[in-house]
């Protein structure tokens, strides 16, 4: 293994990391009590191995080998529970989507992730930093934490066809460009542009998702603008095609 990935035993010692990503959303003034809804929990344990020298490296790269769990933290897993939740939503005057948001989704997966930085100009006159990433996730039929995966059920009413997650996700390609630390003007400073494409490994390039994100400083406020077209915008509806966009704030340490 060491001869393949060329580990420097002094400076490139493989390291074990634990990462956790989560996502919530809140309905403001549109539902009673403005509820906060859990959308995604994604803990992952992974081993990082550097392919190039850590110190004084020109174009560093690394491999991540991980085991992860992805779910939405919800509870409904059968038609009886869904019907009860839909009836309760109707009594409160809430739309039926309130019940749908409580359908449980979950998977365990193995992952391999390759990231490489290119500390060379992306274009002739732009001396920034380019980063490329390729990630593969293999969703397990029976995971250590999840057990059997929780995917689309026929009783949800979107047809009899099965919709395994592997048809919509698992292969990801990303290209990011970080601009030099030079403000465009006194008010605007563009920092980073990232383009990402995702598809399934069961049906490669049949179900595609593409996103674009631009990070900038606007009058000293760290903002990012993003747009996405495709699947997996929400774990409950991972198999539904959507077009979405948004604006956010990003603080880094």
Rg (CA), the chain: 21
pLDDT the model gives residue 190: 77
pLDDT tens string, the chain, 253 residues long: the values are: 333 444 454 566 788 999 999 888 887 777 777 778 888 999 999 999 887 655 445 667 889 999 999 999 999 999 999 999 999 988 888 888 889 999 999 999 999 999 998 876 555 566 678 889 999 999 999 999 999 999 999 999 999 999 999 999 999 999 998 887 665 556 667 788 999 999 999 889 999 999 999 988 887 788 889 999 999 989 999 999 999 999 887 665 5
pLDDT the model gives residue 3: 38
pTM of this prediction? 0.84
Considering the segment(s) 2-249 as one domain, its CATH architecture is Beta Barrel (2.40)
CB distance 90 to 27 below 8 Å: no
Supply the DSSP string of 103-154, one letter for each residue: B--EEEEEEEEEEEEE-S-SBTTB--EEEEEEEEEEE-SSBTTTBS-B---G
């Amino acid at each position: 293994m060491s001869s393949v990935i060329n580990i420097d035993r002094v400076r490139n010692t493989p390291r074990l990391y634990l990462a956790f990503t989560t996502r919530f959303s809140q309905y403001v003034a549109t539902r009673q009590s403005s509820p906060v809804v859990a959308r995604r929990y994604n803990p992952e344990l992974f081993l990082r191995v550097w392919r190039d020298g850590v110190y004084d490296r020109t174009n560093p790269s690394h491999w991540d080998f991980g085991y992860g769990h992805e779910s939405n933290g919800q509870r409904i897993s059968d038609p009886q529970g869904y019907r009860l939740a839909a009836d309760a939503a109707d009594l409160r005057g809430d739309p039926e989507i309130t019940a749908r948001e409580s359908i449980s989704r979950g998977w365990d997966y193995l992952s391999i992730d390759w990231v490489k930085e290119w500390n060379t100009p992306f274009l002739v006159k732009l001396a920034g930093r380019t980063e490329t990433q390729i990630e593969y996730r293999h969703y397990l039929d029976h995971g250590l934490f999840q057990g059997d995966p929780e995917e689309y059920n026929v009783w949800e009413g979107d047809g009899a066809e099965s919709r395994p997650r592997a048809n919509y996700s698992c292969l990801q390609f990303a290209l990011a460009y970080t601009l030099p630390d030079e403000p465009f003007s006194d008010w605007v400073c563009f920092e980073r542009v990232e383009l990402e494409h995702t598809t399934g490994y069961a049906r490669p390039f049949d179900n595609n998702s593409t996103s674009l994100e631009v990070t900038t400083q606007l009058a000293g406020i760290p903002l990012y603008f993003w747009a996405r077209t495709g699947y997996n915008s929400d774990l409950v509806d991972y198999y539904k095609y959507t077009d979405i966009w948004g604006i956010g704030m990003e603080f880094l340490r």
